[in-house]
């Protein structure tokens, strides 16, 4: 079945450091890919998405590119801030059927220190 694998955390960075969180997926066809973020004490919210190969999703300085050839959707940010500390979830929505149900990775905790 479809699945998502994320790099394990926690990831601890200093402010202004470069961030990469790896995400790879297994799915048939062309799923939609998402990054959701959960800030401390808050609910899950969409960070960015990409719906077809080579699409780049971006938001709040974060970027991720849908790579069909490597089945990856790595999250990057050039300069992290303390306020980026959160749990990040990579997810896919299968192209088979059209329910939109999300399959999530295990989540990666990011801690940014001043």
Partner 1 sequence: GAGVSQSPSNKVTEKGKDVELRCDPISGHTALYWYRQSLGQGLEFLIYFQGNSAPDKSGLPSDRFSAERTGGSVSTLTIQRTQQEDSAVYLCASSLWGGRADEQFFGPGTRLTVL
Q: Which residues bind partner 1 (CB under 8 A)?
A: 31-32, 36, 42-46, 49, 51, 89, 91, 93-95, 97-107
Least distance to partner 1, CB of residue 105, Å: 7
Burial class (CB in 10 A: 0-12, 13-18, 19+), 110: buried
36: number of Cβ within 10 Å: 21
Choose between 80 and 91: whose C-beta lies nearer to partner 1. 91
Cβ atoms of residues 70 and 53 within 8 Å: no
Closest CB 73 distance from partner 1, rounded Å: 14
Do 64 and 50 contact (CB within 8 A), yes or no?
Answer: yes
Q: Which is nearer to partner 1, 13 or 103 (CB)?
A: 103
Q: By C-beta, is 46 or 82 nearer to partner 1?
A: 46
Q: Are 110 and 80 in contact (CB under 8 A)?
A: yes
């Amino acid at each position: 079945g479809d699945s998502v694998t994320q790099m394990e955390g926690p990831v601890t960075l200093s402010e202004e450091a470069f961030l990469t969180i790896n995400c790879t997926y297994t799915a048939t066809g062309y799923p939609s890919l998402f990054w959701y973020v959960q800030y401390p004490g808050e609910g899950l919210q969409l960070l960015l998405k990409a719906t077809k190969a080579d699409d780049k999703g971006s938001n709040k300085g974060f970027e991720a590119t849908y790579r069909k050839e490597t089945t990856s959707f790595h999250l990057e940010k050039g300069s992290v801030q303390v306020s980026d500390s959160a749990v990040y979830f990579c997810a896919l929505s299968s192209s088979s059927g059209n329910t939109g149900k999300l399959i999530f990775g295990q989540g990666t905790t990011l801690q940014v220190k001043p």
